[in-house]
Every structure is written in structure tokens, then in C-alpha cells.
Amino acid sequence: MKEHLEHKVFQLISEIADDSEQECYVIGGYVRDIFLKRPSKDIDVVVVGSGIEMAEKLANKLEKKAVLSIFKNFGTAQVKTKDLEIEFVGARRESYQRDSRKPIVEDGTLEDDQNRRDFTINALALCLNKERFGELIDPFGGLNDLKNKVIRTPLNPDITFSDDPLRMMRGIRFASQLGFFLETNTFEAIARNKERIGIISKERINDELNKIIMSPKPSTGFILLDKSGLLELIFPELVALKGIETKEGIGHKDNFYHTLLVLDNVSRQTDNLWLRWSALLHDIGKPRSKRYDKKLGWTFHNHDFVGMKMIHEIFRKMKLPMNEKMKYVQKMVLLHMRPIILSEEEVTDSAVRRLLFDAGNDIEDLMMLCEADITSKNPEKVKRYKNNFKIVRNKLQEIEEKDRIRNFQPPVKGEEIMQTFNLPASSIVGEIKMKIKDAILDGVIPNEYEAAREYMMKVAAELGLTPPEQR
């Protein structure tokens, strides 16, 4: 193991530990990630004694190369260098009360400290004292679990999860992130303790949810969330997508599993968290817009619009950011049918200009989402859709080069309309502006000032307006 502790900082900590005659270990995520060959910058160090004192001594040795922060209330301290963040804590024993995930903390041994860890793979410790430098302390068979890709709690999972229910989310997140399996007993304990998630803050839940969404194959995490019953509690709108209803022998697809397929598809193409969220939410309006029509079968008319409308409430309730990120997701959900409809009809310049205008700089993201949305099992259909999208993409490029619609600014501004006709700010100004915009998007006039000015005069005349100097 020594070769993984080559960084000079481990040598320094080792010397300090021996000088002050205290046991000292690297523990948790950093050790796990050594074995997983995932380099990380966050190092957790446990001292059987005072973590804060150890951090102070290290910061002294490093002088100007380090920044020390002390969190007295938590009994922890952090030393930050240009490439590492080292967290020091005294070994502790924790005991929990029923209504809080904040434990009562006492000084303890290394063993106590390993007992309070969430999973066996997160409880591995490497000794830093000189005599035992690099020795692995693995009381729960964490190394074996790493090899077998197993997530398992070190103690009785019912106690581990009930003590701190966030661990249920963490367990599913690790399974999704690492492609590991939740050991049966551990998984069943999550299902049994799911209601305990109620004491966890929305922000903490979102941190884990986002990590699941950012994992290589996010469906893994969502299927586990669903099967354990957690999803129903933290995100009921997704569960509402589940199931297939049949009438007169006609069924529709299961929109939950379809959504997860789309999410996985998008995730192969992008690390954009909010595009992945858009994939997760793209069909969220379907349960509310589902109808059965004798002629058409199952329809989900306007589910794009209904879905877009639901997002504000979902973001508010879940305490997701209600800023431009939410606006972006709303836009993606609202527009996600447009390229498909477009590709099913004849692709006209006018329709493409409107799509470019509405999507703006997010047009590539939208196209990516729409392509990921093709989950049909009929290869003929898939081929046709993909081919149509190619036509749409070509046309988008052609029109953008020609007309520059993407960051469209109307060539005649509202102020100019007001000045020319001596108008106050009013709805008629808006109407003229909109007519000019429509004329450009429909290709009636080019996207240029002269043409737009001329068109403004024409529209105004039709509305009975004349410039003052001609009156």
C-alpha cells in the first residue's frame, strides 16, 4: 500500500503522529478510491486523540503552503494545500436519537470510528504511523466487498439506516456511481426504513439525487430508488409515470422505463446535469394528459406544455434551484416534441426558423434530447426518425448560416416604433413588433434593418397609423 501514500504530506503527518505519540489513519473515501483507481483530492484523517492539534502542527510545518480552518464545534480541522484538502478528526463513537441525524459524539477508538461508517467499502483505514505505515485495517471485509462490487453496512443495516437515513440515499448512489450491487439484507433494510428519509433535508437528498443523475448509467439508481419505495416518498411525480393501462386490447408504453432509457441515452452524450434533468422530466406531464380515444387509441396531447407547467411546482417542493437552471429545464420540456413533429412533416424553412428562434443557443441540447427520446424497438421506425433528424439538423444549419436566427434581436426596436409614430409604450407597439418578427421568421422579409423598417411602415399604415411629419 505504501506506494499510494507517496505524497510528501503523508510523510509529514506520519512524523507528527509519531512525535506526538498518537495513532493516525487515512480513512474512508480516499482509501476506497485508491483501490478503485479513482484519484481524489479529499483526504480524511482520523487521529486517536485530537484532530485539531494534528492539523495545526501540519499547517505549521507547511507554513505558507497551507490554509488551516478549524471547526471547533465539530472537533474537526481542515488543511488545504494547492492540490489537496485534508480533513482531520479525532476518532469518535456516535450514538443517535430517534428524531435527528445529529449524533451524540464521544471520543473513541479507531474501531469505534470504523463502526460509525456507512458501508464496509467506506470503512477501510491505512495506518500512517511509521512502524505500521501503509497497514490496512479492514475489520468488515471491505476489500472483499470492493472486489465483489458489493455495498453492505458494517453493522446491522436497520440500525445504520435508522441512525442516519441519508445513508440509504448514499448506498443507492454508490451502487449507481460505481456499478455495484446492494447486498440483499442491506437493500431490504432500506425498504424497511424508507419512511425515515423524512428527517433528511431536501438539500441533502438533492446532493445524492444529482450524483445518481450524474452517474454513468443513472437508471441503475432510479430503479433501486423505486424498488426500495424511496422514490415514491422523494419524487412521486416520477412514480406516476409507471405502469401500462390497457383498453380494448390497446396498451401504451410504460413511461417510467421509457424515461429512464432516455436519461441513460442522454447521459452517454453529455455531462450537463440540467440536460440530464430535462431528460428525466421530459414526459412528466404524461399522466395528467393521458386520454383514451376510440379512433386514436392512447394520446398524450399537450404533455409537453402540461409538463413544462409542472416544473415550477416540482422545483419549489424539492428545493431545486429556481433560477435560470429551472428555466432551461422548462424550455427543454416544452420544446421536446418540436423537432419530432417537424421531422414528421415536410421540413419548411419557416418551421425551422421558429424552432431556432424558440430554442436559441440551446438548440444543440434540444436536438440531443430529442434523439435520445427515440427508444422504439422497431428498427425501421428508428431508422426513419434518425434520418429525419439528420434532415432537420442540416436544415437548421443552413437556415442559421443564412438568417442568423439563433440570437435573434428584432432589427427594429420598440423605441424606434414609439418615436416614429409618436406612441407611448402600449400594446400596439408590441403588436407591430410581433408582426415584424413573424414576417422574418416566416421568410416574408429578410432579417435586415431596411426591410424591417419598410415592413413596419406598411403594418402601421394597415393599423391606421402615420408618422407625425406626414399628418
Spatial neighbors of 402 by CB under 8 A, at least 6 apart, are none
In the complex, the smallest distance separating the C-beta of residue 170 from ligand ATP, rounded to whole angstroms, is 6
How is residue 88 annotated by DSSP?
E
Stretch that binds ligand ATP, among 115-123, 150-158, 293-301, 462-470 (CB under 6 A): 115-123
**Residue with the closest Cβ to ligand ATP?**
29
Residue numbers 33-62 binding Mg ion by CB under 5 A: 42
Residue 82 C-beta-side C-alpha neighbours within 13 Å:
3
| Residue of 166, 262, 368, 439 that binds ligand ATP (CB under 6 A) | 166
d(CA 301, CA 326): 23
Can residue 122 be called a binding residue for ligand ATP (CB under 6 A)?
yes
Determine contact, residues 107/79, Cβ cutoff 8 Å. no
Query: Which of 118, 237, 264, 403 lies at the binding interface for ligand ATP (CB under 6 A)?
Result: 118
432 within 8 A of 456, measured Cβ to Cβ: yes
Q: What one-character DSSP code corresponds to residue 129?
A: S
Residue 208 as a binder of ligand ATP (CB under 6 A): the answer is: no
**What angle, 0 to 180 degrees and rounded to 10, lies between the N-to-C axes of helices 255-267 and 363-372?**
130
- Is 218 within 8 Å of 262 (Cβ atoms)? no
Instruction: Choose between 210 and 376: whose C-beta lies nearer to Mg ion.
Output: 210
Choices 162-170, 242-250, 266-274, 321-329; region in contact with ligand ATP by CB under 6 A:
162-170
Q: Convert residues 20-59 into a mask of x (bound to ligand ATP by CB under 6 A) and - (unbound).
A: --------xx------------x-x---------------
29 interacts with Mg ion by CB under 5 A:
yes
Q: Residue 29 Cβ, how far from ligand ATP at the closest point, in Å?
A: 2
Number of other CB atoms surrounding residue 430 within 10 Å: 12
The stretch near ligand ATP (CB under 6 A) out of 141-149, 164-172, 244-252, 444-452 is 164-172
* Encoded amino acid at 288, one letter: R
Q: How far is the CB of 221 from ligand ATP (least distance, A)?
A: 14
The DSSP symbol for 300 reads -
**Residues 181-200 contacting Mg ion, CB under 5 A:** none
Number of residues that bind ligand ATP (CB under 6 A): 11
Grid coordinates representing 297 are: 387509441
First vs last Cα of the chain: how many Å apart? Answer: 91
Interface residue list for ligand ATP (CB under 6 A): 28-29, 42, 44, 117-118, 122, 164, 166-167, 170
